[in-house]
Amino acid sequence: MNKSRNYFHLHLVSDSTGETLMTVARAATVQYEDVQEIEHVYPLVRTQKQLDRVISEIESAPGIVLYTLVDQGISDRLERTCRDLGVPFVNILTPVFSVFQSYLNVTQTHRIGGQHELDAEYFKRIEAMNYTMLHDDGQVWEDLEGADIVLVGISRTSKTPTCIYLANRGIKAANVPLVPDIPLPAHLLNLKKPLVVGLVASAERIQQVRRNRVLSLQAENYNDTYVDRKEIAREINMARRLCSDNGWPLIDVTRRSIEETAAEIMALYRTYKAEIPGITI
């Protein structure tokens, strides 16, 4: 029997993009079962006039307020409003800044959105993202040698979202689907620079995800073997054998989040590049 969910309003106020707030908020809310947040996101709040709208929204739908605001005047006004309304509020970066300041003994610069500067790292991530999107799901196989990491796996092993996560870390990631009875590109087996990593999951998990995929697309003419457990098991064995034959590391993603899978891949890549001269991340 499904339990009823408790809903609450969650206001995320930022003078930058709000990405930091959303990441922290979602990491926190996922820890509470049967509770569902209603997110109100307010990015680029840098003037008192912009804060007026935020305060109006909080007054209309009171709830938890998380914020990252560098301007002291705007921050103070938001806090006063929250106190008057009796709603909880947290500047999520204050404890972090306190630790950094006490340990480093330096003054905070109060730069808005400093983590999003258009520096070399930013452009590296953009280049990686462009490469990854161009090489998704076996597209443009000819220049896989330009990748940092190539993921191989059967359908529904989270290859694409894992590649996108890696690209956001500045890693050029391509992925190649493993399809029964369809030969792989010959040069995949002879790559020199990229680390090739295989992804697998349990047959039960893949079958469940594929069934949900078919239902969501309302597909009527799909191939029955796509969700057949025996066929899925055959595909998994094929993937395991391919990785074993070529010495590729294999990761079981059955009970892993995208972040956990990507973290293990990045650890493998750090070891890999340390063993091969000339490779830099």
**Residue 160 among known ligand-binding residues:** yes
- 166 contacts 173 by C-beta, under 8 angstroms: yes
Q: Could you give the angle at which helices 72-85 and 48-60 cross, rounded to 10 degrees? A: 20
**Residue 158 among known ligand-binding residues:** yes
Question: Which helix H or strand E contains 139, and what residues bound it?
Answer: none
For residue 240, give the nearest of 181, 147, 154 by alpha carbon.
Answer: 154
**Residue 230 among known ligand-binding residues:** no
Q: In the structure encoding, which two tokens stand for residue 42, read together?
A: 């307010």
Backbone angles phi, psi at 92, to 5 degrees: -70, -20
- Where helices occur in the chain by DSSP H, the ranges are 19-29, 48-60, 72-85, 94-104, 120-134, 159-167, 203-217, 229-246, 258-275
Give the C-alpha separation, 45 to 14, whole Å: 6
**Residue 81 among known ligand-binding residues:** no
**Residue 159 among known ligand-binding residues:** yes
- 111 contacts 70 by C-beta, under 8 angstroms: yes
Which residue ranges are tagged as binding site for ADP? 153-160
Which residue ranges are tagged as binding site? 153-160
